[in-house]
Amino acid sequence: MSKSKMSSKQSKCKNVDVLVIGGGLSGGTLSLALAQAGFDVATVDREDMAGWTDRGFDGRASAIALSSQRVLAGVGIWDVIGAETAPMLDIRVSDGHSPLFLHYDHEELGTPGADPEPFGYMVENRSIRKALNVLVPKTKNLTYFAPNQVESLERDAEGVHAVLQDGTQIEARLVVACEGRQSPTRDAAGIGLTKWDYKQAGIVCTVEHEHPHNFCAQERFLPSGPFAILPLVGSAEKPGCRSSIVWTERADLWPIIMDLDDEDFLEELEVRFGDFLGEIEIVGPKFAYPFSLQFAHSYTAERLALVADSAHGMHPIAGQGLNMGLRDVAALAEVLVDARRAGQDIGAPQTLENYGRWRRFDNNLMLGVTDALVKLFSNDIEPIQLARDLGMAAVNQMPNLKRFFMRHAMGTVGELPRLMRKEPL
């Protein structure tokens, strides 16, 4: 990151349109979208952004729906990371060792005469962070203050006033919290939060396998929860032979599994993974993420908007957390651009209400769907298991219903913001 873009003791006072707190996956994408649309943006992240190039590997890779890929492409991130992403061409869902399964093939959704598009792409989270590190210094109107933090924040009808840890003062029309699930800005604004713990965690690691995955994402429902094998691009020597694993385990078991030595861990993994891709080997460290659901009671307050995990956090059973966050990003950017075109104050209550109304319903629906899926698929009660197996097999035989679910996986249904329709802001 260039020196002029880093926080410095000289730049003590800054007047911007939008202050973004949290410059990670959603905050970084929002910052780029707004700055490219001509807003002056200041973004604060507590992490050292320059360090994202060498570290910051949290093991996570995200299934990015086609509509989210369009947002990343719209702000230039895709140009930087495209070669590091793996398309998802097939999705196979199965229940334990039942022979019944559901198989989605992207070719079933093609438009005559056009190449069928993938359901989405697998992207390592660190790739997006590295792309931000490349793009932010080149983006006019955008200043990252990182590592830095907001020490005090005042909001009133006139505007936003923030003082950062290094003494920089920032005046803005609007502040947006993109701080992830723990959002001090949300809490300080007195916005209530409902939260429950799934008493599960996702063990995340990367494996290399003997045979290529052919860009098929697999999700198996095991008694302790879903076990996902997600295709990554692989190395130059072994393309298509690398996958990201999200292995859900009960709260009483995951710490024991995480404590196993490498050999025993691999043995447990193989039991769940199977041998359909030949021999497997674990590459890199393993991580565990406890799973919970949470949602903020409001997405807005005076001159404040909440985005992505700061507004809603869901179980990754359907791989939708970041996808929903990027929908928030695209919707908020559009609402702000439209308000400015109409000569309105971008931090006015009506502007923010337009954003909140647009996103709350969609996100609450997805929270409900993911919660129901967790309850349906995280148990081995026989009649429930039989009902879900028959349900999956039935959907597999119903082309129209199947296409409906496939479009949902692509994220191309609902009231899509312009960026998700490949249109400029």
CB of 385 to ligand FAD, least distance (A): 24
For residue 7, which amino acid is it? S
Could you tell me the two tokens for 92?
């196979």
CB of 55 to ligand FAD, least distance (A): 13
Work out whether strand 86-88 and strand 90-95 pair parallel, antiparallel, or are unpaired. unpaired
Work out whether strand 193-209 and strand 280-296 pair parallel, antiparallel, or are unpaired. antiparallel
CB of 181 to ligand FAD, least distance (A): 7
Helix axes of 321-341 and 25-36: crossing angle, nearest 10 degrees: 20
Beta strands of 259-338 (E only): which ranges? 280-296, 300-301, 304-306, 312-313
CB of 86 to ligand FAD, least distance (A): 12
CB of 353 to ligand FAD, least distance (A): 22
Task: Please answer whether residues 362 and 189 qualify as being in contact, where contact means their C-beta atoms are separated by less than 8 angstroms.
Answer: no
Work out whether strand 18-21 and strand 41-44 pair parallel, antiparallel, or are unpaired. parallel
Q: Which is nearer to ligand FAD, 389 or 417 (CB)?
A: 417
Q: Which is nearer to ligand FAD, 39 or 119 (CB)?
A: 119
Work out whether strand 90-95 and strand 216-222 pair parallel, antiparallel, or are unpaired. parallel
Binding site for ligand FAD (CB under 6 A): 21-27, 44-47, 60, 62-63, 149, 178-180, 184, 202, 204, 246, 289, 308-309, 316, 319-323, 325
CB of 269 to ligand FAD, least distance (A): 15
Could you tell me the two tokens for 241?
């032979």
Q: Which is nearer to ligand FAD, 71 or 246 (CB)?
A: 246
113 alpha-carbon distance from chain centroid:
32
CB of 409 to ligand FAD, least distance (A): 11
Q: Report cis status (omega within 30 of 0) of the bond before 147.
A: yes
CA-based nearest residue to 174, from 156, 159, 195: 159
CB of 234 to ligand FAD, least distance (A): 18
Q: Which is nearer to ligand FAD, 25 or 34 (CB)?
A: 25
- Reduced to 3 states (helix: H, G, I; strand: E, B; else coil), residue 219 is strand
Q: Using CA atoms, how far apart are residues 163 and 332, in angstroms rounded to an integer?
A: 24
Q: Which is nearer to ligand FAD, 35 or 308 (CB)?
A: 308
Q: Which is nearer to ligand FAD, 225 or 321 (CB)?
A: 321
Q: Which is nearer to ligand FAD, 321 or 389 (CB)?
A: 321
- Reduced to 3 states (helix: H, G, I; strand: E, B; else coil), residue 116 is coil
Q: What residues contact residue 287 under an 8 Å CB cut-off, 6+ apart? A: 58, 59, 60, 203, 204, 205
CB of 185 to ligand FAD, least distance (A): 7
Beta strands of 237-279 (E only): which ranges? 239-250
Q: Which is nearer to ligand FAD, 26 or 385 (CB)?
A: 26
Work out whether strand 239-250 and strand 312-313 pair parallel, antiparallel, or are unpaired. unpaired
Q: Which is nearer to ligand FAD, 21 or 93 (CB)?
A: 21
Q: Which residue's entry shows tokens 């009483």?
A: 252
